[in-house]
Every structure is written in structure tokens, then in C-alpha cells.
């Protein structure tokens, strides 16, 4: 009996060794799920710097205070853009070598040192051409009604100009936007809605009913397309009174129009500069006072700069 007991004891001991060995080498299928994961970034926004550059801004992950926090990783598709590693604490990123007219999906995840990552946050965006000079390589200006100089602006004049261009009333058919200064009015907006007697009427140009006070086009970040949601129905041929007390800084107007022969909109952001030497937006001396502008123009039709990613945690 004693020998049988010893035999079964040895069998049990050997089995215990085998089981312990299996436990040591096995992987619990829920181990990865139990790994702590960082929280994602939020409020991802972008702006177009020029025809191949996008700048991003976002709110940092709340998990940056965790000792496991490592960094962020940004991925751009389509194309062969290499993943970008973003250091902790950095919430401004500039991407270059992109193509105007291509809508890129840009996704960012937060990463821990244990190889776990947050839910990705995405935005879709395309760069746009920036104009600070007109077709004559001069500053972009439109002039008051009393001036013999051009009071109308074409957002983009194709070859050979390939730039914005100012026109007089005699060439009103080429106007997209215009300036009207008479009877203490300072009216800026769609050429079809300004009180000039054109030999030939301009084509329609629509403006969003919202005006943005900002320092520069580089600081006008957005998470939504220029025609996203309710915005699409808020474009119209309209004008704005630049003497409004609500306008206190440089102003940006969202604009869209059909270029000749097209049935899809081209989109633009038009910045009107505040007079740096005084009140209001008119600069210079009468009768040749003017407003000065910069333009971000998307040359590819039906690309409203941005679209919202399906998993964007924007505020």
C-alpha cells in the first residue's frame, strides 16, 4: 500500500510540474485587453498654409500625466507619407509635400510605453494655394467707388495670370467680389449684389453668412468642411457692411463660385485686413482708398478644404 501511495504521489507531483509549466508559457487571450490604454486627443482642427502644406492643432490627451505616456503617432493617407512621431506636449503639427486637390485622411493616436494606443482621431483635409499678391505681383487691393482704379476682384484668374486680379466696372463681368463706398457705406461682397451699373453682369459668387475675426489665415483652424452640414444652405449672393461694430480684427469670408464652364464649386477664404494705422478697414487717401486682402484658394473644384473624419472627437 505504501508503494502505491508513493507512486500516485509521484504522478501527482509530475502532473503539477507540467501544468505549472503550461501556465507559465501560455497567453491569456484577455491580457492585451487588460493593458491600460491612453485617452485620445480631441478637437482636431486644420488650416491650409499653402498648396502643399497643412497645419494641425488639437487638445492634448489627458493621459499625458500618466507615467506610461510615450508620444503620439500621425498617419497620412493616401500616398507614401511616413508615419510622424509627435513628442509629448506638442499640439501643433505642420505637414508638407502634399498635393493640392487631394483630400488626405490624417489620423492621430496617443501611445503608451506598453505598446497600447488610443482610439484614432481623424480629419480629412486638402491644402490650398495662398495668394498675397495679385497678377501684377502687387498687394491684393480693391478701391473705393470714387477711384478710377478697380473696385472689383476676381478670386483667381487663370493663365497667363494664375493669380487674383482687380478689375474696373467696365470689366464688371469678371468680378467675383466688389467694394462699394458711397453715402458713408463700406459694402463688401458678391459683385451681383453691389450697386454698380455693369456693361455685362458678373456671374454669381456666394458667401457664407458667417464672418470670422482672426489675426491671419494661418490662425483660422477648422474641423468642418466649408460646406459641412448647415453651412451648405447658408451660402448666398450677399454683402457685408464693414462698418459693423462686431468687426474688430482682420476678417475672413468663406466664398464659393463656379469657374467658367464648371458645375462644381471652387472654394476660397478671403481675408480683409484691418487698417493697421487707424480704425476700420479702408486704407490710403481719398479718392483712392482701398481694402487689402489675402486669399486661400482651392484650385480643384468640389474640394471644400476639409471634411470631418467619422471618428473625430472634435468639440
Instruction: Look at residue 307 in the predicted model and tell me its pLDDT.
Output: 61
Which grid cell sits at 255? 466664398
Instruction: Look at residue 306 in the predicted model and tell me its pLDDT.
Output: 78
Instruction: Look at residue 245 in the predicted model and tell me its pLDDT.
Output: 92
Cross-sheet strand order for the sheet of 84-86: 84-86, 69-77, 104-112, 121-125, 306-308
- Pairing relationship of beta strands 53-59 and 265-272 according to DSSP bridges: unpaired
Asked if 102 and 229 sit in the same domain, the reply is no
Low-confidence residues in the chain, pLDDT < 50: 1-27, 29, 308-315
Asked if 212 and 298 sit in the same domain, the reply is yes
Instruction: Look at residue 28 in the predicted model and tell me its pLDDT.
Output: 53
What is d(CA 121, CA 309) in angstroms, rounded to the nearest whole number?
A: 8
In which domain, by residue range, is 41 found? Answer: 35-127
Last residue of a domain, one of 97, 127, 157: 127
Question: For residue 103, what are the contacts with CB-CB under 8 A and spacing of at least 6?
Answer: 124, 125, 126, 303, 307
Asked if 289 and 243 sit in the same domain, the reply is yes
Identify the CA nearest to 38 among candidates 10, 21, 8, 61.
61
Instruction: Look at residue 33 in the predicted model and tell me its pLDDT.
Output: 59
Asked if 271 and 259 sit in the same domain, the reply is yes
Last residue of a domain, one of 111, 127, 143: 127
- Pairing relationship of beta strands 235-236 and 205-214 according to DSSP bridges: antiparallel
C-alpha pair distances (Å), 185 with each of 57, 169, 182, 241, 274: 38, 18, 5, 7, 16
- Ramachandran sector of residue 177 (left: φ over 0; alpha: ψ -120 to 50; beta: rest): beta
Instruction: Look at residue 185 in the predicted model and tell me its pLDDT.
Output: 87
Q: Is residue 193 within 8 Å of 239, Cβ to Cβ?
A: yes
What is d(CA 303, CA 297) in angstroms, rounded to the nearest whole number?
A: 10
Asked if 112 and 162 sit in the same domain, the reply is no
Question: For residue 26, what are the contacts with CB-CB under 8 A and spacing of at least 6?
Answer: none
Mark out the alpha helices in the chain (DSSP H runs): 2-25, 31-34
What is d(CA 54, CA 133) in angstroms, rounded to the nearest whole number?
A: 20
Identify the CA nearest to 274 among candidates 309, 312, 248.
248
Asked if the structure places residue 141 within a domain, the reply is: yes
Asked if 90 and 12 sit in the same domain, the reply is no
pTM (predicted TM-score): 0.85
Please give the tally of structural domains in the chain. Answer: 3
Asked if 254 and 170 sit in the same domain, the reply is yes
Amino acid at each position: 500500500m505504501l508503494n502505491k501511495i508513493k507512486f500516485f504521489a509521484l504522478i501527482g507531483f509530475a502532473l503539477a510540474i507540467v501544468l505549472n509549466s503550461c501556465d507559465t508559457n501560455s497567453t491569456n487571450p484577455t491580457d492585451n485587453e487588460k493593458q491600460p490604454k491612453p485617452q485620445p486627443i480631441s478637437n482636431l482642427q486644420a488650416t491650409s498654409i499653402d498648396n502643399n502644406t497643412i497645419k494641425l492643432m488639437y487638445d492634448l490627451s489627458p493621459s499625458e500625466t500618466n507615467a506610461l505616456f510615450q508620444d503620439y503617432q500621425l498617419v497620412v493617407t493616401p500616398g507614401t507619407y511616413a508615419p510622424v512621431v509627435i513628442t509629448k506636449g506638442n499640439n501643433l503639427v505642420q505637414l508638407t509635400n502634399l498635393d493640392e486637390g487631394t483630400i488626405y485622411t490624417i489620423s492621430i493616436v496617443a501611445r503608451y510605453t506598453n505598446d497600447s494606443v488610443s482610439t484614432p482621431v481623424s480629419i480629412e483635409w486638402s491644402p490650398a494655394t495662398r495668394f498675397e499678391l495679385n497678377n501684377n505681383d502687387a498687394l491684393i487691393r480693391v478701391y473705393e467707388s470714387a477711384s478710377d482704379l478697380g473696385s472689383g476682384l476676381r478670386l483667381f484668374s487663370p493663365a497667363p495670370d494664375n493669380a487674383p486680379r482687380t478689375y474696373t466696372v467696365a470689366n464688371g463681368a469678371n468680378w467675383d467680389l466688389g467694394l462699394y463706398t458711397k453715402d458713408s457705406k463700406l459694402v463688401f461682397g458678391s459683385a451681383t449684389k453691389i450697386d454698380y451699373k455693369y456693361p455685362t453682369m458678373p456671374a454669381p459668387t456666394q458667401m457664407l453668412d458667417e464672418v470670422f475675426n482672426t489675426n491671419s489665415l494661418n490662425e483660422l483652424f477648422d474641423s468642418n468642411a466649408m460646406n459641412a452640414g448647415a453651412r451648405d444652405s447658408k451660402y448666398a449672393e450677399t454683402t457685408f457692411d464693414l462698418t459693423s461694430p462686431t468687426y474688430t480684427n482682420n476678417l475672413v469670408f468663406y466664398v464659393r463660385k463656379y469657374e467658367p464652364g464648371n458645375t462644381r464649386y471652387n472654394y476660397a477664404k478671403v481675408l480683409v485686413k484691418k487698417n493697421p494705422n487707424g480704425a476700420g478697414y479702408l486704407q490710403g487717401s481719398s479718392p483712392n482708398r482701398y481694402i487689402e486682402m489675402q486669399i486661400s484658394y482651392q484650385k480643384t473644384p468640389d474640394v471644400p478644404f476639409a471634411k470631418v473624419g467619422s471618428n473625430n472627437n472634435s468639440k
